[in-house]
Amino acid sequence: MVTRIACVGGGPGGLFFAALIKQADPSVEVTVFERNGPQDTFGFGVVFSDATLAAIHAADPVLRTGLAEHGRHWDDIEVRLKGQRIRCGGNGMAAITRKTLLQLLHRRAEEVGVDLRFSHDVPADPAQLADYDLIVAADGANSRFRDRLADVLVPEVEVATAKFIWFGTDYLFDGLTFVHEHGPHGTFAVHGYPISDSVSTFIVETDEASWRRAGLDAFDTAQPPGPSDEKTKQYLEKLFAEQIDGHELLVNNSRWGNFRTLRTRRWHSGNAVLLGDAAHTAHFSVGSGTKMAMEDAVALADSLLAHRDDLASALDAYEAARQPSVAKIQGAARPSLSWWEHFGRYHDAFEPTRFAFHFISRSIGKERIARRDPEFVERVVQDWRAAHEGLDPLDTPFREFGGRRLTAAELAALRSEGCLWLTAPETEAQLPETFGELAESLGDETPPDLVAVHGGTPLTRSLLAEQARLEHGVPVLIVEDTMDDDRAETLLLSGRADLVAGERA
Protein backbone atom coordinates (compact mmCIF):
# COMPACT_ATOMS: atom_id res chain seq x y z
CA MET A 1 0.00 0.00 0.00
CA VAL A 2 1.29 3.45 -0.94
CA THR A 3 1.60 5.61 2.17
CA ARG A 4 4.40 8.05 1.26
CA ILE A 5 4.58 9.88 -2.08
CA ALA A 6 7.33 12.21 -3.28
CA CYS A 7 6.44 14.54 -6.13
CA VAL A 8 9.54 15.98 -7.80
CA GLY A 9 8.58 19.28 -9.43
CA GLY A 10 6.02 21.87 -8.39
CA GLY A 11 4.50 22.81 -11.73
CA PRO A 12 0.75 22.65 -12.42
CA GLY A 13 0.74 18.89 -13.04
CA GLY A 14 2.73 17.94 -9.96
CA LEU A 15 0.79 20.26 -7.66
CA PHE A 16 -2.56 19.15 -9.01
CA PHE A 17 -1.70 15.49 -8.54
CA ALA A 18 -0.44 16.10 -5.01
CA ALA A 19 -3.66 17.88 -4.05
CA LEU A 20 -5.91 15.28 -5.66
CA ILE A 21 -4.32 12.25 -4.03
CA LYS A 22 -4.08 13.92 -0.61
CA GLN A 23 -7.69 15.07 -0.79
CA ALA A 24 -8.84 11.57 -1.75
CA ASP A 25 -6.82 9.84 0.97
CA PRO A 26 -5.67 12.14 3.81
CA SER A 27 -3.71 9.28 5.37
CA VAL A 28 -1.15 9.37 2.54
CA GLU A 29 1.91 11.53 3.18
CA VAL A 30 2.54 13.67 0.08
CA THR A 31 5.64 15.86 -0.31
CA VAL A 32 6.38 18.17 -3.25
CA PHE A 33 10.01 19.12 -3.88
CA GLU A 34 10.45 22.32 -5.95
CA ARG A 35 13.77 24.02 -6.61
CA ASN A 36 12.24 27.48 -7.19
CA GLY A 37 10.66 29.71 -4.57
CA PRO A 38 6.86 30.03 -4.18
CA GLN A 39 6.86 33.35 -6.05
CA ASP A 40 9.17 32.25 -8.88
CA THR A 41 7.94 31.21 -12.28
CA PHE A 42 9.26 31.12 -15.82
CA GLY A 43 6.91 31.96 -18.68
CA PHE A 44 3.82 34.13 -18.79
CA GLY A 45 0.51 32.40 -19.34
CA VAL A 46 -1.19 29.09 -20.01
CA VAL A 47 -4.11 28.60 -22.39
CA PHE A 48 -6.90 26.02 -22.38
CA SER A 49 -9.59 24.99 -24.85
CA ASP A 50 -13.10 25.04 -23.38
CA ALA A 51 -13.94 21.73 -25.04
CA THR A 52 -11.18 19.76 -23.32
CA LEU A 53 -11.44 20.64 -19.63
CA ALA A 54 -14.27 18.38 -18.45
CA ALA A 55 -12.05 15.79 -16.72
CA ILE A 56 -10.00 18.43 -14.93
CA HIS A 57 -13.06 20.36 -13.74
CA ALA A 58 -14.73 17.15 -12.55
CA ALA A 59 -11.70 16.23 -10.45
CA ASP A 60 -11.38 19.58 -8.70
CA PRO A 61 -12.90 23.02 -9.41
CA VAL A 62 -9.67 24.93 -8.71
CA LEU A 63 -8.90 25.56 -12.39
CA ARG A 64 -12.48 26.44 -13.34
CA THR A 65 -12.64 28.89 -10.43
CA GLY A 66 -9.27 30.36 -11.32
CA LEU A 67 -10.19 30.90 -14.96
CA ALA A 68 -13.53 32.45 -14.00
CA GLU A 69 -12.07 34.82 -11.40
CA HIS A 70 -8.62 35.61 -12.82
CA GLY A 71 -8.51 34.47 -16.45
CA ARG A 72 -9.51 35.81 -19.83
CA HIS A 73 -11.92 34.07 -22.20
CA TRP A 74 -12.47 34.45 -25.94
CA ASP A 75 -14.21 32.76 -28.87
CA ASP A 76 -12.48 34.13 -31.99
CA ILE A 77 -9.10 33.39 -33.52
CA GLU A 78 -7.70 36.37 -35.41
CA VAL A 79 -5.13 36.18 -38.20
CA ARG A 80 -3.36 39.40 -39.15
CA LEU A 81 -1.64 39.46 -42.54
CA LYS A 82 -0.76 42.13 -45.11
CA GLY A 83 -2.89 44.80 -43.46
CA GLN A 84 -5.98 42.61 -43.03
CA ARG A 85 -7.50 41.00 -39.94
CA ILE A 86 -9.39 37.76 -40.56
CA ARG A 87 -11.46 36.22 -37.76
CA CYS A 88 -12.81 32.72 -37.25
CA GLY A 89 -15.17 32.10 -34.34
CA GLY A 90 -16.32 29.06 -32.42
CA ASN A 91 -12.95 28.42 -30.80
CA GLY A 92 -13.79 28.89 -27.12
CA MET A 93 -10.58 29.27 -25.12
CA ALA A 94 -9.38 30.73 -21.86
CA ALA A 95 -6.01 31.71 -20.41
CA ILE A 96 -4.54 32.64 -17.05
CA THR A 97 -1.14 33.82 -15.89
CA ARG A 98 1.11 30.94 -14.96
CA LYS A 99 2.00 32.62 -11.68
CA THR A 100 -1.66 32.98 -10.67
CA LEU A 101 -2.40 29.36 -11.58
CA LEU A 102 0.56 28.15 -9.52
CA GLN A 103 -0.49 30.25 -6.53
CA LEU A 104 -4.01 28.80 -6.68
CA LEU A 105 -2.60 25.27 -6.84
CA HIS A 106 -0.17 26.03 -3.98
CA ARG A 107 -3.10 27.15 -1.86
CA ARG A 108 -5.18 24.12 -2.78
CA ALA A 109 -2.35 21.72 -1.98
CA GLU A 110 -1.71 23.38 1.39
CA GLU A 111 -5.43 23.31 2.25
CA VAL A 112 -5.54 19.52 1.95
CA GLY A 113 -2.28 18.97 3.81
CA VAL A 114 0.42 18.52 1.14
CA ASP A 115 3.97 19.25 2.37
CA LEU A 116 5.36 21.86 -0.07
CA ARG A 117 9.14 22.27 0.04
CA PHE A 118 10.21 25.25 -2.04
CA SER A 119 13.77 26.37 -2.83
CA HIS A 120 14.76 22.76 -2.27
CA ASP A 121 17.61 20.83 -3.79
CA VAL A 122 15.47 18.63 -6.02
CA PRO A 123 16.52 14.96 -6.05
CA ALA A 124 17.54 13.52 -9.42
CA ASP A 125 17.91 9.86 -8.50
CA PRO A 126 15.33 7.40 -7.13
CA ALA A 127 17.95 6.26 -4.61
CA GLN A 128 17.76 9.71 -2.97
CA LEU A 129 14.08 9.09 -2.23
CA ALA A 130 14.31 5.48 -1.08
CA ASP A 131 12.04 6.17 1.90
CA TYR A 132 9.06 6.90 -0.39
CA ASP A 133 6.70 4.28 -1.81
CA LEU A 134 6.08 6.27 -4.99
CA ILE A 135 8.14 8.91 -6.79
CA VAL A 136 6.25 11.13 -9.25
CA ALA A 137 8.71 12.78 -11.63
CA ALA A 138 6.95 15.97 -12.69
CA ASP A 139 10.22 17.79 -13.28
CA GLY A 140 9.53 19.03 -16.78
CA ALA A 141 10.80 18.49 -20.30
CA ASN A 142 14.41 18.40 -19.08
CA SER A 143 13.57 15.78 -16.45
CA ARG A 144 16.67 14.41 -14.79
CA PHE A 145 14.66 11.48 -13.45
CA ARG A 146 13.66 10.50 -16.98
CA ASP A 147 17.24 10.78 -18.18
CA ARG A 148 18.43 8.65 -15.26
CA LEU A 149 15.96 5.90 -16.25
CA ALA A 150 16.32 6.35 -20.02
CA ASP A 151 17.33 2.74 -20.67
CA VAL A 152 13.96 1.55 -19.39
CA LEU A 153 11.72 4.49 -20.36
CA VAL A 154 13.22 5.00 -23.85
CA PRO A 155 12.61 8.71 -24.51
CA GLU A 156 12.71 10.03 -28.08
CA VAL A 157 13.07 13.70 -29.02
CA GLU A 158 12.22 15.39 -32.32
CA VAL A 159 13.65 18.92 -32.69
CA ALA A 160 11.71 21.44 -34.82
CA THR A 161 13.54 23.56 -37.37
CA ALA A 162 11.70 26.80 -36.52
CA LYS A 163 13.10 29.14 -33.86
CA PHE A 164 10.83 30.51 -31.13
CA ILE A 165 11.08 32.90 -28.19
CA TRP A 166 8.59 33.64 -25.39
CA PHE A 167 7.76 37.19 -24.23
CA GLY A 168 4.87 38.98 -22.63
CA THR A 169 3.53 42.40 -23.58
CA ASP A 170 1.42 45.08 -21.94
CA TYR A 171 -0.57 45.28 -25.19
CA LEU A 172 -3.88 43.46 -24.75
CA PHE A 173 -4.97 41.20 -27.59
CA ASP A 174 -8.72 40.50 -27.81
CA GLY A 175 -8.12 36.75 -27.98
CA LEU A 176 -5.81 34.26 -29.67
CA THR A 177 -4.15 36.31 -32.39
CA PHE A 178 -1.59 35.35 -35.03
CA VAL A 179 0.38 38.27 -36.43
CA HIS A 180 2.70 37.92 -39.43
CA GLU A 181 5.24 40.57 -40.44
CA HIS A 182 7.73 40.43 -43.28
CA GLY A 183 10.72 42.53 -42.29
CA PRO A 184 14.11 43.27 -43.84
CA HIS A 185 15.52 39.91 -42.76
CA GLY A 186 12.55 37.56 -43.28
CA THR A 187 9.11 36.70 -41.96
CA PHE A 188 8.36 36.63 -38.23
CA ALA A 189 5.09 35.54 -36.64
CA VAL A 190 3.45 36.07 -33.26
CA HIS A 191 1.14 33.85 -31.21
CA GLY A 192 -0.51 36.39 -28.90
CA TYR A 193 -3.29 36.01 -26.35
CA PRO A 194 -4.44 37.86 -23.20
CA ILE A 195 -3.68 36.23 -19.86
CA SER A 196 -4.92 38.97 -17.50
CA ASP A 197 -6.41 42.45 -17.60
CA SER A 198 -2.99 43.97 -18.24
CA VAL A 199 -0.72 41.40 -19.93
CA SER A 200 -0.68 39.20 -23.03
CA THR A 201 1.58 36.33 -23.97
CA PHE A 202 3.71 37.13 -27.03
CA ILE A 203 5.46 34.13 -28.63
CA VAL A 204 7.50 34.77 -31.78
CA GLU A 205 8.57 32.21 -34.38
CA THR A 206 10.77 32.44 -37.45
CA ASP A 207 12.96 30.24 -39.60
CA GLU A 208 16.64 29.83 -38.80
CA ALA A 209 17.84 31.70 -41.91
CA SER A 210 15.78 34.81 -41.02
CA TRP A 211 16.91 34.54 -37.39
CA ARG A 212 20.57 34.55 -38.44
CA ARG A 213 20.15 37.33 -41.02
CA ALA A 214 18.61 39.49 -38.29
CA GLY A 215 21.68 38.89 -36.10
CA LEU A 216 19.63 37.33 -33.32
CA ASP A 217 21.93 34.35 -32.83
CA ALA A 218 24.46 35.97 -30.50
CA PHE A 219 22.78 35.35 -27.14
CA ASP A 220 24.29 32.50 -25.13
CA THR A 221 21.32 30.18 -24.52
CA ALA A 222 23.54 27.77 -22.59
CA GLN A 223 23.85 30.10 -19.61
CA PRO A 224 21.74 29.32 -16.51
CA PRO A 225 18.07 30.40 -16.51
CA GLY A 226 17.40 34.03 -15.69
CA PRO A 227 18.88 36.51 -18.21
CA SER A 228 16.80 37.40 -21.27
CA ASP A 229 17.78 38.26 -24.84
CA GLU A 230 17.47 42.06 -24.79
CA LYS A 231 18.72 42.49 -28.37
CA THR A 232 15.89 40.33 -29.68
CA LYS A 233 13.41 42.22 -27.48
CA GLN A 234 14.39 45.52 -29.07
CA TYR A 235 14.37 44.07 -32.60
CA LEU A 236 10.87 42.62 -32.22
CA GLU A 237 9.46 45.69 -30.50
CA LYS A 238 10.46 47.66 -33.58
CA LEU A 239 9.26 45.06 -36.10
CA PHE A 240 5.81 44.67 -34.47
CA ALA A 241 5.44 48.26 -33.23
CA GLU A 242 2.36 49.01 -35.37
CA GLN A 243 0.70 45.73 -34.42
CA ILE A 244 0.99 46.36 -30.68
CA ASP A 245 0.54 50.15 -30.81
CA GLY A 246 4.09 50.81 -29.64
CA HIS A 247 3.73 48.83 -26.41
CA GLU A 248 6.76 47.14 -24.93
CA LEU A 249 7.64 43.48 -24.63
CA LEU A 250 8.11 41.95 -21.19
CA VAL A 251 10.89 39.48 -20.47
CA ASN A 252 11.12 36.44 -18.23
CA ASN A 253 13.98 34.13 -19.12
CA SER A 254 13.17 35.04 -22.75
CA ARG A 255 15.60 33.34 -25.11
CA TRP A 256 15.46 31.59 -28.47
CA GLY A 257 15.05 27.85 -28.77
CA ASN A 258 13.78 25.07 -31.00
CA PHE A 259 10.70 23.22 -29.84
CA ARG A 260 11.41 19.66 -28.76
CA THR A 261 8.62 17.10 -29.13
CA LEU A 262 9.20 14.40 -26.53
CA ARG A 263 7.74 10.90 -26.64
CA THR A 264 8.53 8.28 -24.01
CA ARG A 265 7.87 4.62 -24.73
CA ARG A 266 7.29 3.74 -21.06
CA TRP A 267 6.23 6.12 -18.32
CA HIS A 268 7.27 4.20 -15.23
CA SER A 269 10.09 2.10 -13.86
CA GLY A 270 9.90 0.45 -10.47
CA ASN A 271 8.24 2.93 -8.13
CA ALA A 272 9.08 6.01 -10.26
CA VAL A 273 6.53 7.40 -12.73
CA LEU A 274 6.61 10.33 -15.17
CA LEU A 275 3.94 13.02 -15.34
CA GLY A 276 3.40 15.95 -17.73
CA ASP A 277 6.28 17.34 -19.78
CA ALA A 278 8.64 14.80 -18.22
CA ALA A 279 6.78 12.15 -20.25
CA HIS A 280 5.55 14.04 -23.32
CA THR A 281 5.36 17.42 -25.01
CA ALA A 282 3.20 18.84 -27.80
CA HIS A 283 3.82 22.05 -29.74
CA PHE A 284 2.46 25.12 -27.97
CA SER A 285 0.37 26.09 -31.01
CA VAL A 286 -2.21 23.49 -29.93
CA GLY A 287 -2.29 24.83 -26.36
CA SER A 288 -2.24 21.48 -24.61
CA GLY A 289 0.89 21.22 -22.45
CA THR A 290 -0.53 22.23 -19.08
CA LYS A 291 -3.86 20.57 -19.85
CA MET A 292 -2.14 17.25 -20.59
CA ALA A 293 -0.11 17.47 -17.36
CA MET A 294 -3.23 18.11 -15.30
CA GLU A 295 -5.07 15.28 -17.05
CA ASP A 296 -2.10 13.03 -16.23
CA ALA A 297 -2.55 14.06 -12.60
CA VAL A 298 -6.22 13.05 -12.64
CA ALA A 299 -5.49 9.69 -14.27
CA LEU A 300 -2.59 8.87 -11.95
CA ALA A 301 -4.60 9.68 -8.83
CA ASP A 302 -7.55 7.62 -10.11
CA SER A 303 -5.30 4.65 -10.91
CA LEU A 304 -3.66 4.70 -7.50
CA LEU A 305 -7.03 4.79 -5.76
CA ALA A 306 -8.36 1.95 -7.94
CA HIS A 307 -5.33 -0.26 -7.23
CA ARG A 308 -4.47 0.70 -3.65
CA ASP A 309 -2.63 -2.51 -2.84
CA ASP A 310 -0.87 -3.06 -6.17
CA LEU A 311 1.42 -0.23 -7.26
CA ALA A 312 2.62 -1.99 -10.42
CA SER A 313 -0.97 -2.47 -11.63
CA ALA A 314 -1.79 1.16 -10.77
CA LEU A 315 1.10 2.48 -12.84
CA ASP A 316 0.27 0.15 -15.73
CA ALA A 317 -3.34 1.36 -15.63
CA TYR A 318 -2.24 5.01 -15.59
CA GLU A 319 -0.02 4.49 -18.60
CA ALA A 320 -2.71 2.57 -20.48
CA ALA A 321 -5.27 5.29 -19.75
CA ARG A 322 -3.14 8.25 -20.80
CA GLN A 323 -0.85 7.15 -23.61
CA PRO A 324 -3.55 6.89 -26.34
CA SER A 325 -4.98 10.36 -25.70
CA VAL A 326 -1.52 11.91 -25.46
CA ALA A 327 -0.53 10.22 -28.73
CA LYS A 328 -3.66 11.65 -30.36
CA ILE A 329 -2.80 15.20 -29.24
CA GLN A 330 0.80 14.81 -30.37
CA GLY A 331 -0.45 13.52 -33.72
CA ALA A 332 -2.66 16.59 -34.13
CA ALA A 333 0.19 18.85 -33.03
CA ARG A 334 2.60 17.60 -35.70
CA PRO A 335 0.78 19.21 -38.69
CA SER A 336 0.48 22.39 -36.63
CA LEU A 337 4.17 22.43 -35.81
CA SER A 338 4.98 21.71 -39.46
CA TRP A 339 2.82 24.65 -40.52
CA TRP A 340 4.91 26.95 -38.34
CA GLU A 341 8.08 25.56 -39.87
CA HIS A 342 6.86 26.71 -43.31
CA PHE A 343 4.73 29.79 -42.60
CA GLY A 344 7.10 32.14 -44.46
CA ARG A 345 6.32 30.25 -47.67
CA TYR A 346 2.58 30.58 -47.07
CA HIS A 347 2.94 34.28 -46.25
CA ASP A 348 4.47 34.88 -49.68
CA ALA A 349 2.08 32.63 -51.62
CA PHE A 350 -1.40 33.34 -50.26
CA GLU A 351 -3.72 36.26 -49.86
CA PRO A 352 -5.07 36.83 -46.32
CA THR A 353 -8.32 34.85 -46.48
CA ARG A 354 -6.75 31.77 -48.07
CA PHE A 355 -3.78 32.09 -45.73
CA ALA A 356 -6.13 32.05 -42.72
CA PHE A 357 -8.03 29.06 -44.06
CA HIS A 358 -4.79 27.22 -44.82
CA PHE A 359 -3.71 27.84 -41.23
CA ILE A 360 -6.98 26.84 -39.54
CA SER A 361 -7.36 23.73 -41.76
CA ARG A 362 -3.89 22.39 -40.92
CA SER A 363 -5.46 19.71 -38.68
CA ILE A 364 -9.22 19.87 -39.40
CA GLY A 365 -11.44 20.04 -42.47
CA LYS A 366 -13.81 22.57 -44.01
CA GLU A 367 -17.00 21.07 -42.55
CA ARG A 368 -15.68 21.11 -39.00
CA ILE A 369 -14.50 24.69 -39.42
CA ALA A 370 -17.92 25.62 -40.82
CA ARG A 371 -19.62 24.23 -37.71
CA ARG A 372 -17.54 26.67 -35.68
CA ASP A 373 -17.94 29.68 -37.97
CA PRO A 374 -20.08 29.28 -41.10
CA GLU A 375 -19.56 32.93 -42.08
CA PHE A 376 -15.78 32.51 -42.21
CA VAL A 377 -16.02 29.44 -44.45
CA GLU A 378 -18.59 31.18 -46.66
CA ARG A 379 -16.12 34.03 -47.13
CA VAL A 380 -13.44 31.53 -48.18
CA VAL A 381 -15.82 29.92 -50.68
CA GLN A 382 -16.97 33.29 -52.02
CA ASP A 383 -13.36 34.29 -52.65
CA TRP A 384 -12.93 31.10 -54.69
CA ARG A 385 -16.11 31.79 -56.65
CA ALA A 386 -15.04 35.36 -57.34
CA ALA A 387 -11.81 34.08 -58.87
CA HIS A 388 -13.49 31.25 -60.85
CA GLU A 389 -16.55 32.72 -62.60
CA GLY A 390 -18.92 31.93 -59.72
CA LEU A 391 -18.21 28.20 -59.69
CA ASP A 392 -17.82 26.03 -56.59
CA PRO A 393 -14.41 24.38 -56.05
CA LEU A 394 -15.26 20.87 -57.29
CA ASP A 395 -17.13 22.23 -60.32
CA THR A 396 -14.34 24.51 -61.50
CA PRO A 397 -12.64 23.36 -64.73
CA PHE A 398 -8.87 22.99 -64.83
CA ARG A 399 -7.14 22.66 -68.18
CA GLU A 400 -8.81 19.78 -70.02
CA PHE A 401 -10.69 18.57 -66.95
CA GLY A 402 -14.31 19.56 -66.39
CA GLY A 403 -13.95 19.65 -62.61
CA ARG A 404 -11.30 19.48 -59.90
CA ARG A 405 -12.00 15.91 -58.74
CA LEU A 406 -10.88 13.48 -61.40
CA THR A 407 -12.82 10.43 -62.46
CA ALA A 408 -11.33 6.94 -62.47
CA ALA A 409 -10.92 7.12 -66.25
CA GLU A 410 -9.14 10.49 -66.09
CA LEU A 411 -6.87 9.19 -63.36
CA ALA A 412 -6.00 6.10 -65.38
CA ALA A 413 -5.17 8.23 -68.43
CA LEU A 414 -2.76 10.36 -66.42
CA ARG A 415 -0.76 7.29 -65.45
CA SER A 416 0.28 6.83 -69.07
CA GLU A 417 0.70 10.48 -70.07
CA GLY A 418 3.20 13.22 -69.28
CA CYS A 419 2.38 13.47 -65.58
CA LEU A 420 5.06 12.99 -62.93
CA TRP A 421 3.90 10.52 -60.27
CA LEU A 422 5.62 10.84 -56.91
CA THR A 423 5.10 8.65 -53.89
CA ALA A 424 5.16 10.66 -50.68
CA PRO A 425 7.32 9.09 -47.95
CA GLU A 426 6.00 7.79 -44.67
CA THR A 427 8.07 10.24 -42.61
CA GLU A 428 9.11 13.87 -42.93
CA ALA A 429 12.75 12.87 -42.53
CA GLN A 430 12.53 11.19 -45.95
CA LEU A 431 11.08 14.24 -47.73
CA PRO A 432 14.41 15.82 -48.82
CA GLU A 433 15.17 12.79 -50.99
CA THR A 434 11.75 13.04 -52.65
CA PHE A 435 12.20 16.81 -53.06
CA GLY A 436 15.43 16.06 -54.89
CA GLU A 437 13.65 13.62 -57.20
CA LEU A 438 11.03 16.31 -57.89
CA ALA A 439 13.62 18.97 -58.70
CA GLU A 440 15.56 16.61 -60.97
CA SER A 441 12.45 15.65 -62.93
CA LEU A 442 11.38 19.27 -63.33
CA GLY A 443 14.85 20.13 -64.62
CA ASP A 444 14.54 17.81 -67.64
CA GLU A 445 14.41 19.22 -71.17
CA THR A 446 10.70 18.37 -71.31
CA PRO A 447 9.55 18.75 -67.71
CA PRO A 448 6.12 17.45 -66.71
CA ASP A 449 3.34 20.03 -66.50
CA LEU A 450 1.50 18.22 -63.70
CA VAL A 451 2.69 16.40 -60.58
CA ALA A 452 0.57 13.66 -59.01
CA VAL A 453 1.29 12.96 -55.33
CA HIS A 454 0.09 9.77 -53.66
CA GLY A 455 1.07 7.43 -50.82
CA GLY A 456 2.67 8.53 -47.58
CA THR A 457 0.66 10.33 -44.91
CA PRO A 458 -1.72 13.30 -45.18
CA LEU A 459 1.08 15.55 -43.91
CA THR A 460 3.85 14.27 -46.19
CA ARG A 461 1.50 14.37 -49.19
CA SER A 462 0.64 17.99 -48.45
CA LEU A 463 4.27 19.02 -47.92
CA LEU A 464 5.37 17.33 -51.16
CA ALA A 465 2.47 18.91 -53.06
CA GLU A 466 3.33 22.34 -51.67
CA GLN A 467 6.96 21.90 -52.66
CA ALA A 468 5.82 21.39 -56.24
CA ARG A 469 3.17 24.14 -56.24
CA LEU A 470 4.84 26.86 -54.20
CA GLU A 471 8.54 26.30 -54.86
CA HIS A 472 8.44 25.08 -58.48
CA GLY A 473 5.16 26.58 -59.70
CA VAL A 474 3.83 23.26 -61.06
CA PRO A 475 0.16 22.28 -60.62
CA VAL A 476 -0.46 19.32 -58.33
CA LEU A 477 -2.94 16.45 -58.15
CA ILE A 478 -3.27 14.83 -54.72
CA VAL A 479 -4.46 11.23 -54.85
CA GLU A 480 -5.69 9.48 -51.70
CA ASP A 481 -7.35 6.11 -51.07
CA THR A 482 -10.69 7.84 -50.72
CA MET A 483 -11.60 11.48 -51.29
CA ASP A 484 -14.90 12.72 -49.89
CA ASP A 485 -16.24 16.22 -50.61
CA ASP A 486 -14.99 17.67 -47.34
CA ARG A 487 -11.41 16.49 -47.85
CA ALA A 488 -11.43 17.48 -51.52
CA GLU A 489 -12.75 21.00 -50.91
CA THR A 490 -10.37 21.53 -47.98
CA LEU A 491 -7.36 20.70 -50.17
CA LEU A 492 -8.53 22.96 -52.99
CA LEU A 493 -9.68 25.96 -50.94
CA SER A 494 -6.51 25.92 -48.83
CA GLY A 495 -4.23 25.95 -51.85
CA ARG A 496 -2.67 22.58 -51.09
CA ALA A 497 -3.75 21.06 -54.42
CA ASP A 498 -5.08 22.04 -57.88
CA LEU A 499 -6.74 18.69 -58.54
CA VAL A 500 -7.83 15.79 -56.30
CA ALA A 501 -8.79 12.19 -56.80
CA GLY A 502 -9.65 9.07 -54.83
CA GLU A 503 -8.28 5.66 -55.73
CA ARG A 504 -11.55 4.12 -54.58
CA ALA A 505 -15.02 5.55 -55.02
Residue 480 has pLDDT above 60, yes or no: yes
**Residue of 264 and 224 predicted with greater confidence:** 264
What Å distances lie between residue 261 and 124, 281, 282, 315, 463, CA to CA?
22, 5, 6, 23, 19
First to last CA, the chain: 57
pLDDT digits (tens, 9 = 90+) for 94-114: 999 999 999 999 999 999 999
The C-alpha atoms of residue 146 and residue 150 are separated, in whole angstroms, by 6
155-191 CB burial, b ≥16 within 10 A, e <16: beeeebebbbbbbbbebbbbbbbbbbbbbebbbbbbb
Residue 358 has pLDDT above 90, yes or no: yes
Q: Average pLDDT in the 321-343 region?
A: 93
pLDDT digits (tens, 9 = 90+) for 270-309: 999 999 999 999 999 887 899 999 999 999 999 999 999 9
Residue 76 has pLDDT above 60, yes or no: yes
Residue 182 has pLDDT above 90, yes or no: yes
Confidence of residue 209 (pLDDT cuts 50, 70, 90): very high
Contact, 77 vs 176, CB < 8 A? yes
The C-alpha atoms of residue 427 and residue 457 are separated, in whole angstroms, by 8
**Which residues, listed in sequence order, are joined to residue 477 by a DSSP beta bridge?**
452, 499
pLDDT digits (tens, 9 = 90+) for 37-68: 888 777 789 999 887 788 888 988 998 899 99
Q: Average pLDDT in the 148-166 region?
A: 96
Q: Is the dihedral of CA 381, 386, 388, 392 positive or negative?
A: positive
pLDDT digits (tens, 9 = 90+) for 421-453: 999 999 999 999 999 999 999 988 788 899 999
Residue 8 has pLDDT above 90, yes or no: yes
pLDDT digits (tens, 9 = 90+) for 406-422: 999 999 999 877 799 99
Confidence of residue 478 (pLDDT cuts 50, 70, 90): very high
According to the model, what pLDDT value does residue 288 have? 82
According to the model, what pLDDT value does residue 153 have? 97
- H-helix segments, 126-279: 144-148, 150-153, 208-213, 230-239
